[in-house]
Structure 1
């Protein structure tokens, strides 16, 4: 049973009242499965068959206990956790904002989290629908999945890439993929109706290649990236992590350009940024910089800043003037001013030292950030904390769970 403590409303009361939905526990379907709108010639703008449009973002947390396979979907509007099918042996859990990808040695299991956001630039639509099993994608635990509104690119650990139609996944079907030619280093990233790849040409550095969605190479910008690790899609373009910094790829008038954002100094391999965490839609990225510091990459200004923090378990930021949030090995959260690198706030220990230590991969405490709150999972304590990062890292809500949520991602964003 899930219990909420220290409850402070996450959204205005009127909106919460509108959004509270009664859970129907028929399999894995929530209320949206019994409230499907009827299509008509006068369907409203933004209509999606089988989904309910809401006034506010419908955030949910996907949670997994790798030891038992127990999986829950925590609805952050209602505060209720829903049990879904077990997914044992999950080594990593990732998301594209709607679907959860449970990476195991035998393939990647896909769960439709039933909440997503559609951004039209000048306005957005928020949706909630049934939580559904989709199926399994081939590839072992090293498989990487990236998506846009039309396609999902799956790159396996051998560098083979398959492209799936997003519309099929939305119907709870995996569908038949199209194979992208060549061998790819890093990950294939859908971007601006194209696919970006760093191809292995047998040399030291991978070369940037741009494909259309049919798999035809349409551009080869003069750009290389040595030992690619880490990627992010921002409003300013796609960031690809390289040994000497980052490669920023941008689209303009149908053409693609690439420019380096170098560290500026020779950085030991153990201190380079290899995985980025950030708020979706933000241009401020974070990454561990060794064991006792955090990198801040300002994509707009094209600058790296190294913030010395002490022992780091996880870090993230909402960007745009917000603090850098760091979970340290003592189980406390620390807030740092990104511009000065100075600590400006901290909490008491929220996690025990053993729980804060985490495990290999991303099975352990992480910090998920959206436009108003941050979320921290406590596996040993069987809980998730909701943090108000605009109020000195105040604990706004605590969600007690019946599983150890060692893996966590946020959907609906």
Structure 2
């Protein structure tokens, strides 16, 4: 892939097969200028959190408190968003790879204090090239990019991304390309899913020298990951959950022969993983009304009937680890992650139905600290909700229907 004037592709000259090979730093094909040198920054009195949402044809950047539109960046296509893990940047999945978007708010450490800055949002020229860019995972102070088409895994120290300068990632590869995920563990090991273009069946862990530590191939249709307290990782299966802790995999079996948990949300404050739960293998689109709560310490999988359906963009975790689900009844359901009791239901948006195409806009939940951000594409609206009280603090009409939604702490 040759870089265009607008896109800089970072190509690793050496791809490392994990099985029996040691890792090394990737070499970059060329050097991009730091985004911090092209953006005029103004100092702020505190961190300025910002939201980023896609629409059909571009990206909007918003003030996370007032919902004021701070930037409108034109970008064709269906673009996926993932925070980079540095509090400042967002990765946009484009045709060229993972492109870096700078919402224009960040904080830098200066000895015993910090300085916060703001600038105009900018889609930078920095692209970390891969085929079919997929999941971005932030864990153990590392950010890991996964390419579904080529199996490329790109690993960064999350803090290094804050500068806005191009970073040479450590590059590794899966054994076979597939729609998967990879993440770094606290001890320096690397975990990634197993599969190929036809099927996926488990996960594997390698140490920093590229030696296989352990694998498990008893997780059909492996999809989605989440981290729980104490560096425990959970992966969704079509018949339960695969858990990795203390150097070993264990399987938590679903109560149904086909009990698919493909989307999960974790919290460092809790050993419990929130997941979806589907039982109709042949459904074109199943609209489940039960969610799953998997305790990674006890191995117990609990199902909770919400009495309303939800989508894969409905799952979140509160500041104390509470499970939060945005239902098609238009309400936020706050659930005790340990007992499964529904503690509160907060009305936020009008009732809705999940569209059949997963790329189409639907109400989406994003949580940052004690605020839930809920989009309402039918009315081009975004809402800010206090998770403690359920009060809608702010609502704003946007210039287009919001689709993907994420944010940075600034």
1:34 maps to 2:41: yes
Is 2:272–2:337's contact at 8 Å kept on the other side of the alignment?
no
More divergent stretch after superposition (372-381 vs 309-318): 309-318
1:195 corresponding residue in structure 2: 190
Give deviations 1:361-397, integer Å, cap 9, x for gaps: 4842221223312111111212211112222x22122
Structure 1: any 5+ residue segments left out of the alignment? Answer: 1-27, 37-51, 251-255
Is 1:96–1:147's contact at 8 Å kept on the other side of the alignment?
yes
1:182 corresponding residue in structure 2: 175
Root mean square deviation, CA, Å: 3.9
1:138 corresponding residue in structure 2: 129
State how 1:56-205 maps to structure 2 within 5 Å: 58-65=48-55, 67=56, 69-77=57-65, 79-97=67-85, 98=87, 99-115=89-105, 128-130=117-119, 131-134=121-124, 135-141=126-132, 143-148=134-139, 152-158=143-149, 160-166=151-157, 167=160, 170-173=163-166, 175=168, 178-180=171-173, 182-183=175-176, 186-192=180-186, 193-200=188-195, 205=201
State how 1:10-409 maps to structure 2 within 5 Å: 33-35=40-42, 54=46, 58-65=48-55, 67=56, 69-77=57-65, 79-97=67-85, 98=87, 99-115=89-105, 128-130=117-119, 131-134=121-124, 135-141=126-132, 143-148=134-139, 152-158=143-149, 160-166=151-157, 167=160, 170-173=163-166, 175=168, 178-180=171-173, 182-183=175-176, 186-192=180-186, 193-200=188-195, 205-212=201-208, 216-221=209-214, 223-226=216-219, 227-236=221-230, 237-250=232-245, 257-268=247-258, 271-278=259-266, 283-290=271-278, 291-309=288-306, 310-313=308-311, 314-318=314-318, 320=320, 322=322, 324-348=323-347, 350-351=349-350, 353=352, 357=355, 359-361=357-359, 363-391=361-389, 393-409=390-406
Q: 1:196 Cα deviation (Å)?
A: 1.6
2:24 corresponding residue in structure 1: none
Structure 2: distance between partners of 1:177 and 1:409: 25
Structure 1: distance between partners of 2:254 and 2:135: 29
Is 1:232–1:240's contact at 8 Å kept on the other side of the alignment?
yes
Structure 1's 90 and 140: CA in aligned 2 closer, same or farther, altered over 3 A? farther
Q: 1:219 Cα deviation (Å)?
A: 4.1
Structure 1's 203 and 137: CA in aligned 2 closer, same or farther, altered over 3 A? closer
Structure 1's 315 and 267: CA in aligned 2 closer, same or farther, altered over 3 A? farther
Structure 1: distance between partners of 2:92 and 2:291: 27
- Give me the TM-score of the superposition, normalised by structure 1: 0.70
Give deviations 1:252-276, integer Å, cap 9, x for gaps: xxxx6123250352341xx411111
Is 1:143–1:155's contact at 8 Å kept on the other side of the alignment?
yes
Q: 1:157 Cα deviation (Å)?
A: 1.7
Structure 1: distance between partners of 2:303 and 2:384: 27
Aligned with 1:183: secondary structure?
coil
Give deviations 1:47-84, integer Å, cap 9, x for gaps: xxxxx794x6x43211110x2x2312222245432114
